[in-house]
Amino acid sequence: MSGKVYLVGAGPGDPGLLTLKGARVLASCDALVYDWLANPELLDLAPESAVRVYVGKKGGDHTMSQERINELLCDLAADGKTVVRLKGGDPFVFGRGGEEASALAAKGLAFEVVPGVTSAIAAPAYAGIPVTDRRATTEVAFVTGHEDPGKPESTIKWGALAQIGTVVFLMGVKNLPNICAKLIEAGRDPATPAACVRWGSTPQQETVTGTLADLPQRAAQAGLKPPAITIVGQVAALRQELAWFEKLPLFGKRILVTRARSQASRLSEGLAALGAKIIEVPTISFLPPEDPEPLETAVAMLEDFHWVIFTSPNGVDAFFTALGEAGKDARALAGCKLAAIGPATAATLLQRGLIAEVTARTFQAEGLIEALEAKGITGQRVLIPRAAQAREVLPETIASWGNLVQVVPAYRTVRPPESTMLLANALSQGLDAITFTASSTVTNLMEMLDQNGRDLLAQQSREGGLTVAAIGPITADTAKGYGLEVKVQPEKFTIEALTEALSAYYAS
């Protein structure tokens, strides 16, 4: 049986602009054939088992001819595979999707078009330029700025375009002088507002404004290169009032997130929403303890404990995994009082239907000690399931009050093997900031570098070329121990507070 090809529009660059249907078919494909302009983040939506084939075209560098791409899609479909052809923008707006659909139709192969957000609308919108606005124009035309070089002459109706309120040219940076000259020659006022937007909707977005007469010169002075679109019309003047994306507090900042991949999304999404370019280099990942017996024994004897103290959301998750493997659930904790080191840990317990008797206001052992001390705990049996390696101040202090404390490793942290290469790539491209959410993220990142690398990072942080953000004082102290100057540290030790503090730092 033959398969099916989905011609999916990847949108203009911001991965959040992919449609829900596009994400759904990506998640279930057997093969993914993608372009240069498709955001690499979207590739992660496809199953790991999916075959990935890059067929991008960049300037004169064509990885694969259009005819060969058509054949590839037909071959994959004929082989019974579900194929996603991921194309920048919209497949049918200067995307040659029609040619690919025709090739499939000619062989009787099933296909479906999943429209995408075209850069012709999205890039101007992210630059603060509405392509239509009743104060300026009620008509818009989309035109290729790069006609088929095989044509004997241009088929663009310049005279008609000169009369249209807004004209958007796609892929026309190299031809910009000719485009502007042709419009002026056809009768368009040289003083007409115009703009070029490069990498629209991404943190690399760059906008050059001017008039029809001087835009080519301004674009050349700015060193503007593809991919970019050009907008001609009175609407371009509205950018001065409506620009929003490039005014976001973290716009264009390259920020390294060092959290474990399973936990990075909340921090990454928060920073990206403020305009940052996120580079994820997970410095830790979580594994079961090397010896599971202590945790298994503790779970089997839960009725003997008066208190169970959780020092991280990871500890909660690992503990409940062990609980489930023992055939138990939250009811096994009915006779225990619970304590959480901070709001995030308490929230993780609440997801399990449990409310902590004590919650520290800060994600710090000292804060939990203060909260527990107010309870006057003494003569109690206390269980602390935590990371295999952790500070001893919490169990030692609780034991000093006359309690019997049992610490069991619930999980261990290791450094992902692929992270060293990811870090090297990130540093080679330059960074504006690094975020640390635990001491282990600092230690593991610095251990990926040789001494020269550590010294260079420390020097950049002192000289202002690199902003180091730490979630709390313990993490900050670890960073300072490596010579890093910490410039951002929130009052509350939470992901949200760290995001806000970094935003406020750059805003000031």
The set of catalytic residues is 35, 57, 171
Show the tokens assigned to 198: 């490069």
Q: Is residue 355 within 8 Å of 349, Cβ to Cβ?
A: yes
The per-residue b/e assignment along 457-480, b for 16 or more CB within 10 angstroms, e otherwise, is bbebbeeeebbbbbbbebbbebbb
Q: Is residue 314 within 8 Å of 295, Cβ to Cβ?
A: no
Residues 6+ apart with CB under 8 A from 408: 294, 295, 297, 298, 383, 384, 385, 386
Q: Is residue 232 within 8 Å of 170, Cβ to Cβ?
A: no
Q: How would you list the strands of the sheet with 206-211, edge to edge?
A: 140-144, 166-170, 228-232, 193-198, 206-211
Neighbours of 77 (CB within 10 A): 22
Tell me, what amino acid is at 129? I
Q: Is residue 405 within 8 Å of 331, Cβ to Cβ?
A: no
Consecutive H or E run containing 31: strand 31-34
Sign of CA dihedral 250, 253, 255, 261: positive
Give how far the C-alpha of residue 363 lies from the chain's centroid of Cα atoms, to the nearest Å.
25
CA 162, 154, 146, 124: dihedral to nearest 10 degrees?
A: 20
Q: What is the distance between the terminal CA atoms of the chain, rounded to a whole angstrom?
A: 62
Residues 6+ apart with CB under 8 A from 367: 341, 342, 360, 361
CA atoms within 13 A on the CB side of 339: 32
Residues 6+ apart with CB under 8 A from 373: 401
Residues in the chain: 508
Return the closest-CA partner of residue 51 out of 33, 71, 31.
31
The C-alpha angle with vertex 413 and arms to 408 and 416, in degrees rounded to 5, equals: 160
Phi, psi of 255 (to 5 degrees): -120, 130
